[in-house]
Amino acid sequence: MNTLHKSPLGKHSAYSDQYDPGLLFAVPRTRQRTGIGIGDETALPFHGYDIWHAYELSWLNLNGLPQIAIGRLGFPASSPNIVESKSLKLYLNSFNQTRLESAAILKLALEQDLHAASGTEIIVEIVLPEHFSELRLSEPPGLLLDTLTPSISHYQPHPELLTHTDTPAREALVSHLLKSNCPITGQPDWASLLIDYGGPRIDHEGLLAYIVSYRQHAGFHEHCVERIFMDLMRRCRPEYLTVEARYTRRGGLDINPVRSTEPFPYARASGRLARQ
């Protein structure tokens, strides 16, 4: 079983430019989920995906001419493992001097290798340059919380800030103030957060203060979103809830976890934001 101290994250790494699937480093999701009260992987309290964009994807064609693309990778929330982000970057870079017959061959290799690492089937899209113009920036729909002025005194996750009334509501709320830190390197991770729910009305100022309380928290992207989801379910008891974070890129990769009480079609995931 992999342990994080064996991961390449936060260590000097020699970049291989020849295809090497052995560079992928899998981390079991159970390690993070146990701490937020999720034990039985067969009965997850949510659906969703971790959607990655790989902006530095390149290989050689059979004539040795470099090819480029943008990769979009969908990891189901039900997968046994996540793939550690630096290991994915190293793996993708291992294609840089690898000759491939076509983008279809690259897609097949990604599907097979990421399936083996994550423990489940992965959705892989390869966007070629002739389709780059189709990639549009968008912003999440909803009421922006960031103009509110709550008093802030917590910079570690503080679910007690979450309160609600008995008034029913159905609304989408947005904040660009989510920040957490990598648990290995301490580097900051920045994100925009969308919370779409129906049920007892969540107090907006308390929710914003709760989002800000992650500012000094050390946690992986996926774990932060799942913690937010679980805290909202426990404290505010919505009938419907979707939590989606759009993290800014690091090392040519961005990670966008989404968790929902309802089955969440991969195709419904929102596009890139301005900060990405």
The catalytic residue positions are: 182, 189
Q: How far apart are alpha carbons 91 and 24 in whole angstroms?
A: 6
Q: How far apart are alpha carbons 29 and 118 in whole angstroms?
A: 10
Q: How far apart are the first and last CA of the chain?
A: 33
Measured in residues, the chain has a length of: 276
Contact 59, 99 (CB under 8 A): yes
Question: In the 8-state DSSP scheme, what is residue 250?
Answer: B
Q: How far apart are alpha carbons 65 and 4 in whole angstroms?
A: 37
Spatial CA neighbour of 36 closest among 172, 225, 263, 273? 225
Six token digits for residue 170: 């159905």
Q: Measured between alpha carbons, how far is residue 86 from residues 58, 80, 254 in Å?
A: 17, 19, 12
Spatial CA neighbour of 209 closest among 138, 153, 129, 125? 153
Question: In the 8-state DSSP scheme, what is residue 269?
Answer: S
Q: How far apart are alpha carbons 36 and 51 in whole angstroms?
A: 22
Contact 245, 254 (CB under 8 A): no
